[in-house]
Amino acid sequence: MAVQLRTKYTIIPITNNTPRSHRPSLSRLRAICSVNSTAAKPRPNREKLVVVVNPLLSNDPTLQSTWTHRFWVSAGCTSVFASLAKSVVAGFASHLWLEPALAGFVGYILADLVSGVYHWASDNYGDESTPLVGTLIEDSQSHHKWPCTITRRQFANNLHFLARGVTLTVLPLDLAFNDHVVHGFVSTFAFCVLFCQQFHAWAHGTKSKLPPLVVALQDMGLLVSRTHHVKHHRAPYSNNYCVVSGVWNKALDENNVFEAMEMVLYFQLGVRPRSWTDPIL
């Protein structure tokens, strides 16, 4: 049996030399495989198989963690742990647990809202040339073209950007405050913000391959689930932005909060959100 591989375009291997901005075009490469039987049949039996080639494989360097990524994730986790330790130690000393526990709950709820605003902003505004956050915006927007790529992104690679922000914010708070209620809020809020991209990745994971604890938390609604987040990747696309627990999504979408913010930005600054022109956002 002879197998012929026919393509409409030349297949170019993905290397470090391939400009990142050129890679998306490779995703649209369609390889048509024709299977010809060379047995004594007068008419070969032909089958056509269409294969869509994903440009970002798990060994792609843009998905792998660097030591800089690991440094910032470690620093972020350390600053969050220091804040949590201050809250717990002061709670032991004062025997007051209710206030820091409530502050922690508020931090958890508020982090979901902040994750939605952050996600909405990076999906809709700026591009890869935007100073400081260009790579982040590019990654966020390419996530809509290849949603499953986030599951191949290594841990520190996925978290390092927010870990950097958490470190630079929480470390000064660790040094400035000793109040256990403040740190009850700060530690929970910062933890959820730091890990929200991991929660997002888990929402794209296959249930059978996720840790049982993660599946249990998703089923309880404490972490955003696959069935909840998948709505963000379906028409009209501009909803369900929150990726910690998703608890804010219903209220935000039913009250058209993000649409209202887009209108304000358009009329005040003349900036159009990408969701108005890009069919997959």
Binding interface with Zn ion (CB under 5 A): 123
Under DSSP, is residue 34 helix (H, G, I), strand (E, B) or coil? strand
- Report in angstroms how near the CB of residue 225 gets to Zn ion at its nearest: 12
Q: Which is nearer to Zn ion, 80 or 203 (CB)?
A: 203
Do residues 227 and 218 touch, judged by C-beta distance below 8 A? no
DSSP assigned state of 248:
T
Comparing every residue's Cβ against Zn ion, the nearest one is 123
Q: Which is nearer to Zn ion, 112 or 123 (CB)?
A: 123
Q: Which is nearer to Zn ion, 123 or 253 (CB)?
A: 123
Q: Which is nearer to Zn ion, 20 or 233 (CB)?
A: 233
- Report in angstroms how near the CB of residue 29 gets to Zn ion at its nearest: 23
- Report in angstroms how near the CB of residue 232 gets to Zn ion at its nearest: 6
Among 280, 24, 259, 268, residue whose Cα is nearest residue 128: 24
Task: Kindly give, in sequence order, each residue whose CB lies less than 8 Å from that of residue 113, ignoring residues fewer than 6 positions away.
Answer: 242, 248
Q: Which is nearer to Zn ion, 66 or 256 (CB)?
A: 256
Cα 171 to Cα 194: distance, rounded to the nearest angstrom:
14
67-94 and 155-176 are packed helices; what angle lies between their axes, rounded to 10 degrees?
40
Helix (H) or strand (E) holding 31: strand 30-36
Q: Which is nearer to Zn ion, 123 or 139 (CB)?
A: 123
- Report in angstroms how near the CB of residue 127 gets to Zn ion at its nearest: 15
Q: Which is nearer to Zn ion, 188 or 197 (CB)?
A: 197
- Report in angstroms how near the CB of residue 45 gets to Zn ion at its nearest: 41
- Report in angstroms how near the CB of residue 203 gets to Zn ion at its nearest: 6
Helix (H) or strand (E) holding 212: helix 212-220
Buried b (16+ CB within 10 A) or exposed e, 269-280: eeeebbbeeeee
Q: Which is nearer to Zn ion, 188 or 275 (CB)?
A: 275
Tokens of 275: 């969701």
Do residues 72 and 163 touch, judged by C-beta distance below 8 A? yes
| Class of residue 50 by CB neighbours under 10 A (exposed 0-12, middle 13-18, buried 19+) | exposed
DSSP assigned state of 22:
G
- Report in angstroms how near the CB of residue 220 gets to Zn ion at its nearest: 20
∠ CA 195-200-202, rounded to 5° = 95
- Report in angstroms how near the CB of residue 150 gets to Zn ion at its nearest: 6
